[in-house]
Amino acid sequence: MIEMTVAQIAEIVGGTLADVSAEQAAELRVTGTVEFDSRAVGPGGLFLALPGARSDGHDHAASAVAAGAVAVLAARPVGVPAIVVAPEPRDSRAGVLEHDPDGSGAAVLGALAELAKAVAEELVAGGLTIIGITGSSGKTSTKDLVAAVLEPLGEVVAPPGSFNNELGHPWTVLRATRRTDYLVLEMSARHPGNIAELARIAPPAIGVVLNVGTAHLGEFGSREAIARTKSELPQAVPPSGVVILNVDDPSVAAMAHVCSGWVVRVSRASHTDSGPSDVWAEGVSLDELARPRFTLHAMDARGAAEVEVQLGVYGEHQVTNALCASAVALQCGAGVEQIAASLAAAGPVSRHRMQVSNRADGVTVIDDAYNANPDSMRAGLQALASIARGGQTERRSWAVLGEMAELGEEAISEHDAIGRLAVRLDVSRLVVVGTGRSVAAMHHAAVMEGSWGASGDRGAVQVADGDAALELLRAELRPGDVVLVKASNAAGLGALAETLAAEGGARR
- Can you say which residues are annotated as belonging to the binding site? 135-141
Can you give the length of the chain in residues?
A: 508
Q: Which residues contact 496 (CB under 8 A, 6 or more apart)?
A: 369, 400, 433, 466, 469, 470, 485
Please state, in angstroms and as integers, the Cα–Cα distance from residue 287 to each residue in 129, 314, 377, 394, 421, following that order: 35, 9, 21, 14, 22
Q: Which residues contact 441 (CB under 8 A, 6 or more apart)?
A: 411, 412, 413, 415, 416, 419
Residues flagged as binding site for ATP: 135-141
Question: For residue 314, with 0-12 CB atoms within 10 Å meaning exposed, 13-18 middle and 19 or more buried, which class applies?
Answer: buried
Which pairs count as long-range contacts for 35-42, CB under 8 Å and 24+ apart, including other chains?
Answer: 35/64, 35/69, 36/167, 36/171, 38/63, 38/64, 38/67, 39/67, 41/67, 41/68, 41/69, 42/67, 42/68
What are the backbone dihedrals phi and psi of residue 155, each rounded to the nearest 5 degrees, phi first?
A: -75, 130
β-partners of residue 157 are 183
| H, E, C per residue of 154-180 | CCEECCCCCCCCCCHHHHHHCCCCCCC
From CA 311, how far away is CA 320, in angstroms rounded?
11
Please state, in angstroms and as integers, the Cα–Cα distance from residue 364 to each residue in 56, 357, 497, following that order: 41, 6, 11
Question: For residue 31, with 0-12 CB atoms within 10 Å meaning exposed, 13-18 middle and 19 or more buried, which class applies?
Answer: middle
Task: Kindly report the number of other CB atoms within 10 A of residue 6's CB atom.
Answer: 26
From CA 163, how far away is CA 418, in angstroms rounded?
28
E strands in 223-336: 242-246, 262-267, 271-272, 275-276, 279-286, 292-300, 303-310
The CA-based angle 156-352-506, given to 5 degrees, is 105
3-state DSSP call for residue 358? strand
From CA 315, how far away is CA 351, in angstroms rounded?
16
Please state, in angstroms and as integers, the Cα–Cα distance from residue 100 to each residue in 52, 54, 170, following that order: 8, 12, 19
Closest to 404 measured CA to CA, from 390, 415, 393? 415
Task: Kindly report the number of other CB atoms within 10 A of residue 263's CB atom.
Answer: 19
